[in-house]
Structure 1
Amino acid sequence: MIRKSSSRRRLAPAAIPLTLLLLLAADPAFAAEGAADDTAAAESVAGEGPQAAYGNEIVVTARRRSETAQDVPIAISVVGGDQIDSTGSFNVGRLQQLAPTLQFYTSNPRNSAVNIRGIGAPFGLTNDGIEQGVGIYVDDVYYSRVASATFDFLDVAQIEVLRGPQGTLYGKNTTAGAINITTNQPTFDFEGKAELSIGDLNFKQAKAAISGPLSDRLAARIAVSATSRRGTIYNVTTDRWIQSQDNIGLRGQLLWKPTDTLSITLVGDWNKQDAVCCGSVFVRTGATQRPLARQYAALAAAQGYIVPSTNPYDRLTDLDANLNAGNEIGGVALRVKWDVGPGTLTSITAWRYWDWQPENDRDFTGLPIVTKSQNPSQQNQYTQELRYNVSGDRVDFVLGGFAFHQRIDTQGTEAHGAASSRWTLNPTSALANDPTVLDGLTARNTQYLKNTSLALFGQLSWKITDRLTIQPGARINYDKKDGYYQRLVFAGDGSPVTRALTDPVSVARLGVFAPQEYAPSFSDWNFSYDLTATYKAARGMLAYATYAKTFKSGGINQNGVPTDGAGNPLLGAATIRPEAVDHYEAGLKTEYWNGKGTFNLAIFRTDIGDYQANVNNGQFGVLRGYLANADKVRTQGIEADVAIRPSERFNAYVNGAYTDARYRRFVDAPCPPELSGGTNSPANCDISGARLPGVSKWALSFGAEANVPASLFGQEGQIYLGYDGSYRSNFSSNASPSIYTWVDGYSLSNIRVGFRAERRLDVFVWVRNAFDRDYIDQLFVGPGNTGLITGLPGDPRTWGGTIKFGF
């Protein structure tokens, strides 16, 4: 494993306030004292960091109605817009440093996964044929593509990260949790804000928003954001920096309030990325069960190939294929809220599109082995959600309906080059010395997916007494998916390669790319439910317990399936069964010290049957990867969130999570590299008991901010010093844990110093990864079972400055 400098010992002091506050929260007298003055409460929520406004409650809409975060019987982290700006958490990838139970991995925008508590989406290549287990919502609109998570947050007021199943409250069923993003809304008072940041690596970021009335009943808001940064990896072949950032976003809103009981909001947004992305660097090699002549060292030596550096933190690569990550997302939504009868009727109608234009180097080397790998996609989605919310003295309820339709079209091209024959074919074969055998070999893939989902859902809160509330919820869901996959194969001269050809050259080509065609289909009804009991033991102390029986919709394999001995697709692998989920959770939310402190605790266990796992094939083009059902998976753990704000001059927080996420039974999993590639290697491996990929057992976020009164530029305000740190322990970076793909734990520190004057001015300088820790975001197993392991180094230390002003 790569050795990294680590600051684990630095974390010990952070455990002191956690232990102290645990003792304080357990003292009833102290809790009673803290309940004496609600008007002075500074309700920091689990996960809320230094930007919570002192003396103000944090209001969330997690249960589709406005209420304080401490009254919600859900494990929830809340991050405000000011904290997003000050900590540089301008997308989901950076947000995970503030929310320990959130995991985000990406090798490019399409191959991105957002998980909560270790579950949500399978780790590895994205397959369009399944659902994501973590729902992403922006102003109530469901975003079906995880690629949207790679964009900059635009004019965000607040982000709520909800842990655990949310299917009885949210339109799309989500088994792991939801990310609920609320943007700033149009106002009838004129206001505006602007922000400019510059830093090293040619970092530039600009944001602006303006809002105000167009008439007595009509208001508008428009926001824009642009981010650019030089890449962090230098490509010696193309003389370019890769892994750059080049994002632009635009969001416009019109609010019409014809009456005091009716509001209609029309929203349009457009976001585009045009980065030089995405690549990786050499990390190490490991022995596989392939013959030595077919492992990386021998293959590279046979072609005189030497990587530019064997130290991944030199950040050098030599990828020779074109790299591109063109990514465009946008849409239009109409939101209607009407106070009718005893409640509020809400309608959200939305259309969204996604256009993905990638180019990759899939052999991970500077040799022309795979010269082209691209799977451009175009998606359109339509959603309609209706909800009726009623709040009463004893009974609250939400009743909703949701309709979703999605179409994705993909056109893939993969081609091999002049170095492929010697690298891919057995060196003992005469064909391995003939570059024309595989040079120009091309597979053209055509696929589409039609995905329809309909649901009725609801949740009731019955206040049996002033202390005890029972909250049942239910959902009935129908899903239907129809797909098509075709792969045609052509030799370098353009002639088709079919399974009917039996000459040695054609057989060699078919071992790399095999034609395939099938049309999978899946449909199913599901019923799910949950029950939560909430008990207010005292003012400022809420306990809750939840059981949820839910599901994750079945799906279809859209990237190809295994074949039988005759080369025919195994249609039994074309569909994937739904996940069956049993979720148990208990939690405690407390306030003390006159509301100046909070301590929240959650204990959970989730059992999943027929877990949808990603299975990877080791060859270059026979199969990129497909999904299969693992028998049983379990994730369980404990989460603690502490925040204190003794005065307007100081605040601090510590959030921690222990997560034990494992395959309980997976007897036919893909084998790790060290057990693959040989003629006698097992076809499958039993990885029962192994940890799920991407999940750290321990994850922490912690920070503090202190300020003193000061004046600058003739304005009264504060000079402040802020620190935000995070730590995560090691995790596996392969679907089947391998001795070669464990990523060591690491900690990161971000520091900022500045001056703020209310909402009018904020000027600060910042350093991120202040101690320049070397760490790896993700490791990748090279194709072909050669033993090559590449990786993506995390960002080095960066620094810069930001100025924000409002009016």
Structure 2
Amino acid sequence: MSNKKSNNKSSIFTISLTRAPLALAVSAALSASAWAQTDAIDKPDPNNDMEIMVVTADFRSASLEKMPSSITVIDAQQIQDENAQHFEDVMNSIANFNWSGGSSRPKYFQIRGVGEQEQYQGAPNSSVGYIVDDIDLSGIGMVSSMYDLQQVEVLRGPQGTRYGANALAGLIYLKSNDPTDVFEHGAEVSLGNDDLQTFSGFSSGPLSDSGKLLYRVALQQHQQNGYRDNLYLNKEDTNGRDEFTGRAKLRWYATDDLQLDLTLLHADFDNGYDVWSLTNDPTNTITDQPGVDSQRTTGAGFKATYSGAEQFELTSLTSFANTDHHYSYDGDWANSEYWASKQCEEGGNVSPCQYDYFWDKTGQRKTLSQEFRLSSTDQGRIFADSTDWLIGVYAMNLKEDNQLYSEYNTWPDEVLDSQYEATNYALFGQLDTDLGADYVLSVGLRVERRNSHYSDTNNDNFDPSETMWGGHIALSKVLNESHNVYARVARGYKAGGFNMTLPVELNDKKEFDTETLYNYEIGLKSHWFEGLIDTNLALFYMDRQDQQVAASQQDPNKPQRFILYTENAGSSNNYGAELDATWYATDNLQFYSSLGWLQTAYGNYQYQDKYGTDVDLTGRDLAHSPHLTYSLGGTYRANSGWFANLNMSGKSEFYYSDSNDSRSEPYTVVNARLGYEASAWSAYLWGRNLFDEEYGVRGFYFGNEPDNGWAEKQYIRYGDPRQIGVTLNVKFM
């Protein structure tokens, strides 16, 4: 089974995984599910005893070991072995990666301590890029099903040359399986506690006898109650998940020199949001107006690759995405009867409390982008055939309208309609030069212009425009057939912006400046003991200038309301290391692991709390930046067809916010999967969070209880508890 046509013409971005003795044993035991999930993976080559994993997110497809950057690739086999249904299920396998649990599914990410924790209002401005099949979903990446996915790529550090302003901290790239030139069809059903039901299916093959037109369709419907019981409403699904994902791909070999690829994506996530409790109860709530967290995204990507010219190849990338999102929550985290049973003091009088707060935001986002790039062929190299070159132009238009409404004790509290539009233009180029003696020098530069406009019903109007630049210089050296070493300097940037609806006393914070980040990195990518162990090691130092910090203040006159704004915090430095390792212990047994070590600190940064008191965060760790992240997993496949996977992951403690000292607790989560894999079917028993670990994924420290005089207190949102389920998979050829 292969993606390659019979004439050996393959996709520009085909991924080939070859793993000799182990791969042969593993492939022989793979189930229908495994083949369904890895149909973009070529059959093992017994003459190649190393794994070759190709990174597709860069301009040119290149093997992971030759990329001069710290990158984690999670392939289809690991996704299946760990029973990952959503991107949330694999995130803990990524070193120095974290996320903020203020939504039903993760969409705010941090790489090496850099990223957002939330976005309640304002203009989109992500630090971590999120791309699905070349469709940009940065800041709204919750629609990320793992079904029929070829691989997940996480590129750490600024991606200034390739992706520009949305990839200051790094990039997450999801690549689904491509169409095949032979018919393949499959179906999968998963059932579990929490009323989990997941139904999935795919179909792939040729649409013409010539084999020049290929298709692939994958669908998944996922439902579960969401692990929370609402005791007041006597419901168990107020935090439920109802998620549909559909992908379709067409590939047309129009001529021998022209390949056209069309990708269609539709995702409809209609989720509840009811996770907060006044008592920090991880499983029960008492809200009377549970929130929602829904997102409906329809997107398309069109790629044209022309290879008919002798000196260069032309690539055109067009993408479009239309997203409607709705986010709301019960801000008092209780109900009217609960508060009426409490006593509140106001103006010297004691009476039953009256506290009812609800926050609601709907939004519509549209993005349209176009990229053209020319890249040299072997015949088009310059400087005595030593240098590959690439040059391109890029344009994107983003529009987002938001409608914000909140009520306090049945009266409107905040009402704000806003419109935002930004247009980006970029020119970029890259040179990759063979210096001889197995040295390669890579130099890239991107210049980007952003023009934007914001207006709202509060009479705020902003028209910021700016020119930004980023790029990289990387030198790599092949030490021998087992070891590659590299050094890299990269510059990334994140656009400046503005804060709306600020009180008069914060007028000096209306606008904030562009942030820049310099990343210095050295790495070693190795095969040990004749390919039995693979390791990727990176050491990095990050210099952030004009760091953007999300600050907040609880309004002392209106405790239900928070004043949210972004400001610059001077410079700061992060440094640390990442290690990914795989050990092919036997033909049937494989171990894999990741380890991240991170040190972060604010530079010179002080802010004022709601009482006007100066708070100094100089030298403190950044929010959502654990010092240690780790994972360890093992997979065993017997020749008889039996399968077992055990994996664990965890984090050390970290601060929840930039505005207070509330912290998480360290935790470790253990998952397992057991099953039997036949040639046309497979069946599994699986468990996630087997020891029912209670671990925080988001926290706040503020006053939300009027009966206690709005005294500040830590509130925690917990991750998913233990879940047990079964999966049945079938494959049809």
The answer to whether TM tops 0.5 is yes
SS at match of 1:259: coil
Asked if 1:411 is matched to 2:403, the reply is yes
Report if the CA contact (8 A) 1:41-1:595 is conserved: no
Report if the CA contact (8 A) 1:726-1:748 is conserved: yes
**Match for 2:308 among 340, 357, 360?**
340
Report if the CA contact (8 A) 2:393-2:428 is conserved: yes
Q: How much does 1:233 deviate? A: 1.6
**Paired position in structure 1 for 2:281:** 312
Matches for 1:749-760 after TM superposition, within 5 Å: 749-757=670-678, 760=680
**Match for 1:706 among 636, 640, 664?**
636
**Match for 2:224 among 215, 226, 229?**
229
Asked if 1:768 is matched to 2:688, the reply is yes
Matches for 1:314-463 after TM superposition, within 5 Å: 315-341=283-309, 342-366=311-335, 367=339, 369-392=355-378, 394-417=386-409, 439-463=410-434
Q: How much does 1:126 deviate? A: 4.1
Q: How much does 1:664 deviate? A: 1.7
Matches for 1:636-675 after TM superposition, within 5 Å: 636-668=575-607, 670-671=608-609
Deviations 1:322-365 (A, max 9, x none): 42222211112221111132332211112111111233112333
Deviations 1:431-485 (A, max 9, x none): xxxxxxxx52443211111111111112211010141111111110101221113
Q: Specify the code of the residue in structure 2 equivalent to 1:767.
A: G
**Paired position in structure 2 for 1:553:** 495
**Paired position in structure 2 for 1:79:** 74
Report if the CA contact (8 A) 2:83-2:673 is conserved: no
Q: Specify the code of the residue in structure 2 equivalent to 1:657.
A: G
SS at match of 1:796: coil
**Match for 2:516 among 562, 572, 580?**
580
SS at match of 1:631: coil
Q: How much does 1:650 deviate? A: 0.7
Asked if 1:219 is matched to 2:190, the reply is no
Identity of aligned residues (%): 24
Q: How much does 1:625 deviate? A: 1.0
**Paired position in structure 2 for 1:275:** 271
Aligned mates of 1:663, 1:91 — CA distance in 2: 33
Deviations 1:298-339 (A, max 9, x none): xxxxxxxxxxxx4624x2211122422222111122211111
Aligned mates of 2:189, 2:314 — CA distance in 1: 39
Moved more, 52-61 or 618-627: 52-61
Q: How much does 1:413 deviate? A: 1.1
Report if the CA contact (8 A) 1:172-1:402 is conserved: no
Matches for 1:668-747 after TM superposition, within 5 Å: 668=607, 670-671=608-609, 681-710=611-640, 718-738=641-661, 741-747=662-668
Report if the CA contact (8 A) 1:358-1:374 is conserved: yes
Aligned mates of 1:136, 1:340 — CA distance in 2: 32
Deviations 1:410-433 (A, max 9, x none): 11111111xxxxxxxxxxxxxxxx
Q: How much does 1:684 deviate? A: 3.5
Q: Specify the code of the residue in structure 2 equivalent to 1:664.
A: G
Deviations 1:271-297 (A, max 9, x none): 111122233123xxxxxxxxxxxxxxx
Q: How much does 1:150 deviate? A: 4.4
Report if the CA contact (8 A) 2:421-2:452 is conserved: yes
SS at match of 2:142: helix
Aligned mates of 2:593, 2:422 — CA distance in 1: 41
Moved more, 388-397 or 51-60: 51-60
**Paired position in structure 2 for 1:599:** 535
Across the aligned residues of Structure 1 and Structure 2, the Cα RMSD in angstroms comes to 2.4
Deviations 1:508-547 (A, max 9, x none): xxxxxxxx43112211011223110101111110110111
Asked if 1:58 is matched to 2:58, the reply is no
- Count matched residues: 660
Aligned mates of 1:77, 1:240 — CA distance in 2: 40
Q: Specify the code of the residue in structure 2 equivalent to 1:691.
A: D
**Paired position in structure 1 for 2:64:** 69
Q: How much does 1:595 deviate? A: 1.6
Q: Specify the code of the residue in structure 1 equivalent to 2:162.
A: L
**Paired position in structure 2 for 1:293:** none
**Paired position in structure 2 for 1:617:** 553
Q: Specify the code of the residue in structure 2 equivalent to 1:345.
A: L
Aligned mates of 1:622, 1:372 — CA distance in 2: 11
**Paired position in structure 2 for 1:540:** 482
Q: Specify the code of the residue in structure 1 equivalent to 2:478.
A: K
Aligned mates of 2:141, 2:372 — CA distance in 1: 23
Matches for 1:113-124 after TM superposition, within 5 Å: 113-121=108-116, 123-124=117-118
**Paired position in structure 2 for 1:184:** 177
The verdict on how the C-alpha distance between 1:327 and 1:268 changes in structure 2, with shifts beyond 3 A counting, is: same
* Structure 1 runs not aligned, ≥5 long: 1-37, 44-48, 283-309, 418-438, 487-515, 711-717
SS at match of 1:732: coil
Aligned mates of 1:183, 1:261 — CA distance in 2: 24
**Paired position in structure 2 for 1:240:** 235
Aligned mates of 1:252, 1:140 — CA distance in 2: 14
**Paired position in structure 1 for 2:97:** 102
Aligned mates of 1:636, 1:326 — CA distance in 2: 36
Q: How much does 1:636 deviate? A: 0.8
The verdict on how the C-alpha distance between 1:605 and 1:562 changes in structure 2, with shifts beyond 3 A counting, is: farther
Deviations 1:72-113 (A, max 9, x none): 111111111232233133333222121122212132259941
Aligned mates of 1:270, 1:622 — CA distance in 2: 35
**Paired position in structure 2 for 1:476:** 447
Q: How much does 1:203 deviate? A: 0.8
SS at match of 1:743: coil
Q: How much does 1:267 deviate? A: 2.0
Report if the CA contact (8 A) 2:230-2:287 is conserved: yes
